[in-house]
Every structure is written in structure tokens, then in C-alpha cells.
Structure 1
């Protein structure tokens, strides 16, 4: 090949990689959207079983909060496929990332983890891959024993890894009777409640309640702020010291009624509610 031909070939433009578009609310449209977000952001150890569509094999897959070394997915020795939600961010669409990890794990040999998603381009999302008729029902765990098959022999190093990773788990319990509310103990007790309504609507509703001194769950359980993540709002309450999760069903049910009534109110916020809203916004945090 002559020099001119080699030069022309080297100067040929490379195909431009197509970026995955940013999606502010990546789990919208999935059953249990708020629990997907909670498992990704606030619950340390939990699993839920989903199923792929027939197009993608009709396979049951275990969605997990976290896998060893933040692996995106794992095809366990017993054939179970696990996909993690708490991993290093890869693209602007968490649904695309998790779906890519899931599909790679389905193709992997038993016993093999998915270590890297490679260069991601637009492709199937969870909303395309999963059977949306299957409910999403998280089970909260006290440790990471779900990494191993029930009958798997626990080698010393594997057992040590599970034990070491489990040491830092924040005690967390899903509150019965309401959706996506999680009690946790971090020195003090808190409630973190992922809400499905549009973020600004939830802020307005809580501001109305706060201005009327109705934002507490019960006496002494005070609203302390909220954070934004995956396109939804997660309000947070500091509970009376010593409060247990099984004590929250009644208070949460009653607060849900007050919140729904506030969400249904029309018209602009009054001056007190606007001040309350400004205070909430000044304290909120956005998780990416």
C-alpha cells in the first residue's frame, strides 16, 4: 500500500460513539419504582425477584442492593443470576446500566461475576427486559449471606468476606402497611420514605403540613428534611429515641392520609407554607 493510501486510511473518521441519554427518573414505569430507588440509595442489604420477558428467556433474576466488590452482576454457582443496584455509576440512565449487567450475567458461565459493563450505548432498559406484570417485593436482610447459594459450602475466605461486609450494615426494616417506607437505626432512629408523586408536588404538600404543624408522624417524631434521587423525593423523619419499625404502621398510615389530602389541595401556597417550603429546599440534598 502506498503512502498516500495509508494516509487516506488513517485519516478516515472513526464512528462516533452514541452516548446513553440522561434519564432523570430511570425506574419510572417499573412495578415498585420507589422500592427500586430505595434499594439503590437507602437500603443496605435487600433482594427482590423479577422475571425477564420471553424475548429475554423468561428467566427469574434476583435484584440485590449490593454484590461483592460492587460487581454489577453475578451468575452464581447454582445458576442463580443476581444483579446489583449499588454500583459505580456508568451512564446517565441507571435502568440501562442495570439491564446491561443483567443481560451479560445471563450469558455468563455459572460462578462468574460481571466485572465491567464495557462501553455502553443506547440499548434495552429494564422496562424492555423485565416482565412488568411481576410485582417488585423487596426482602430486607441482616447480612449479605444471599451472595451465596443456600447449600453452598462456605469456604473460610468467602465466609470472612460476607461477615466483614455485613459488619457495617445499618439496621433497616421495611414498614408494614405503606409503600417504600424504611426504618433505620444510625445511632438514632429515622424513617426514610420514598414517594412516587412528582417531587415538587410532594414538597408543596409537606410545606402545607409543616406550616400547620402537621408534618410530624406522631408527637416527637419530627420531619427533618428530604433528599432527591432518581427523579423522586425521599422525605426523612427523626423518630423518638428507641422507636421500633413495628410501631410505625399506624403513624405512617395516618400521615399518608394527611399527605394525600395536602396533595389534593389546589391554589398557591400561603405565606407560611412558602416559608416552610424554602426551609425544606435549603436543607435538601440531591443524590446522583
Structure 2
């Protein structure tokens, strides 16, 4: 006698908060027979407020935001709030690594680089610091609580306006009425911090011919770091095509030494001949941008030489958190 076909087992209709959390590879407690990660674990991961792959996506000037957050040593840019004319300025670093402060004149300063753990979403961390500054009194350094309800920059800023970045040779912008007077210990601490920060600054210039490309003189090296807005796979394929064709150099004597990922974007790095000035890169950078655009437009699989070039480029890539 033939056996009856067993009806497929259906996953019980339970909400994620009714199912206890177990290891991702363990059987789901709901009894579906699937692993937790393929069943109710998937739903719980979707519900969690996971950090976005690109922290600053949706903001005009996304690439400059990545640069300010990641590697530019001393720069400022005015910001435009959504629906407010409050004066706000972002600075790569603030005195004593404060996340934000309100100057005595009422200007809110936002620190792009803060060496403390945050939410995992740089835009939320900066949004929380900006919101705290907007709510604080003039001449104060606010506390900055960060949780899942903290606003992101995209919630506070006019997202259509890109930051107009001004790179500085040092952090002298700290001294124009930025720190409240009257606290001698604080003034002395900031003065000492200015000396330490200035001693560590690498000369940096933002190119004007292309977006988010920064010439840097670091120690005995001259290089260009260029934050690109394209998806990583497309960028890596395009650079593989250029490299295989001998077209990845920026100027004669330069070479692309690798790249790093930062906040979801790719930042290629070129080593330049010693003493190359920033001005010498303006025209070559614009020419390279056109060449890269042509390579990005190419579709179809990579050739064997291009695949080898891509593997080499991937091997020289690191991720910055």
C-alpha cells in the first residue's frame, strides 16, 4: 500500500517577539525545522535598526562627509539646517575631541571625528551631537546621549546642500571665540591640545577640479586620496580594466598603491613622485575622472588580465571603521 505524501510543514504564524533568540545556526524554536537565521531570526534582523552600509547616503556631498569623518586633519564647512537659519559649522576635530559645542556667540560646532564608540552609524552619532548642540546654551559643551531614537544628519540638515569644505593648515579656528572664557584650566587644556593636534597635522589640499579628492603630504610620502561615489563592485571592475590597460596612473611616476573602504564608499590612494604639488594634479585628475567614467560605462565580464588586476587591487584594500 502506497504511503500518503506528507504535507509540507508550515512555519507557525508567530511574531518575532514570541520566539526566543537562539544561535543563528540552531533550529528555530518555532518548530518550523529551519535554522533560526533562515526563519524568525531573519525577521528579527530586519526589525533591528542595523547601521546602513553608507552612513552619509542621501546627503549632498556624501564623499566629502566621508573624507571629513575619516582622514582630513583640519577643515571646516558651514551647514544648512532644514527649516532653520541657525549658524552651524562642522569641523574635523574640536578641542579635547568634543562631539559638539556651542560657542559664546551661539554658533553650533559639530566635530566630525570623535574617538569614542558610537552606534555604528556615523550619521546617527553626528546627528545626536548636532541635536544636543542645537538644544544647548551658548558657551557650553553638551552631553551627547546616543540611542536608536537619536536623529541622523539626514533628519536635521538640508540634504540638497553640500558642505563647502575649507581645509586649514592647522586648528587655529579653535581660537576665535570658540572656547568660553573664565575657566583657566579649560583654556590651558585647549591650548595644550592645539599644540598636540597641530604637530600631528599632515599638509592637506582639496582639489578643485574634481569632487572629494585630497592631496596629502604624509611624512616622506606624497599621495592623493579620492573618495568615489560609485558602488564598490563597479569601482573595482573599472579600476581593474584601467590597470590591465596600463591606465591607472594619475601622472607620470605615480602609482595606485591600494584603496580603503570607509562608510560604504571606496577611496583609492595614489603614491605621487616626491614633492609633487597639489596644483600639478588638477588637470590630470579631471582627465582621469573622464577615463574612469568611460571604464565604469563598460559592461560585460572582465578578461583574464582584468580579473588578475582586480584580485591584486582587492588584496591591497582595507576597511576603516
Query: What TM-score do the two structures reach when normalised by structure 1?
Result: 0.88
Measured after TM superposition, the shift of residue 132 of structure 1 is 2.2
* 2:237 match: secondary structure: helix
CA gap of 1:168–1:43, structure 2 versus 1, over 3 A, is: same
Structure 1 distance, partners of 2:86, 2:265, is 29
Structure 1 distance, partners of 2:127, 2:150, is 9
Measured after TM superposition, the shift of residue 242 of structure 1 is 0.7
Q: Is the 8 A contact 2:139 2:180 kept in 1?
A: no
Could you tell me which residue of structure 2 aligns to residue 67 of structure 1? 94
| Segment of structure 1 superposing worse, 219-228 or 69-78 | 69-78
CA gap of 1:92–1:159, structure 2 versus 1, over 3 A, is: closer
CA gap of 1:151–1:215, structure 2 versus 1, over 3 A, is: closer
Residue 38 of structure 1, aligned match among 47, 63, 67: 67
CA-to-aligned-CA distance 1:218-260 (integer Å, 9 cap, x gap): 1111111100010000000000111010110011011111100
Within 5 Å, which residues of 2 pair with 1:100-179?
A: 100-114=128-142, 116-149=143-176, 157=188, 158-179=190-211
Query: Are 2:309 and 1:276 equivalent residues in the alignment?
Result: yes
Could you tell me which residue of structure 2 aligns to residue 15 of structure 1? none
Query: What TM-score do the two structures reach when normalised by structure 2?
Result: 0.79
Q: Is the 8 A contact 1:21 1:122 kept in 2?
A: no
Unaligned runs of 5+ in 2: 1-46
Measured after TM superposition, the shift of residue 161 of structure 1 is 2.9
Query: Are 2:56 and 1:27 equivalent residues in the alignment?
Result: yes
Structure 1 distance, partners of 2:168, 2:125, is 24
Could you tell me which residue of structure 1 aligns to residue 15 of structure 2? none
Structure 2 distance, partners of 1:119, 1:255, is 41
CA gap of 1:91–1:20, structure 2 versus 1, over 3 A, is: farther
Measured after TM superposition, the shift of residue 113 of structure 1 is 1.4
Structure 1 distance, partners of 2:153, 2:206, is 24
CA-to-aligned-CA distance 1:97-137 (integer Å, 9 cap, x gap): 111100101111222113x4224123421111111233311
Measured after TM superposition, the shift of residue 166 of structure 1 is 1.1
Measured after TM superposition, the shift of residue 28 of structure 1 is 0.6
Residue 300 of structure 2, aligned match among 257, 260, 267: 267
Give the root-mean-square deviation of aligned CA atoms.
1.9
Query: Are 2:289 and 1:256 equivalent residues in the alignment?
Result: yes
Structure 2 distance, partners of 1:21, 1:153, is 38
Residue 99 of structure 1, aligned match among 127, 140, 143: 127
Query: Are 2:228 and 1:195 equivalent residues in the alignment?
Result: yes
Q: Is the 8 A contact 2:89 2:110 kept in 1?
A: yes
Structure 2 distance, partners of 1:99, 1:150, is 24
Kindly tell me the number of residue pairs found equivalent between the two proteins: 268
Measured after TM superposition, the shift of residue 60 of structure 1 is 2.4
State the structure with more CA Rg.
2
CA gap of 1:153–1:159, structure 2 versus 1, over 3 A, is: farther
Structure 1 distance, partners of 2:304, 2:63, is 31
Could you tell me which residue of structure 1 aligns to residue 214 of structure 2? 182
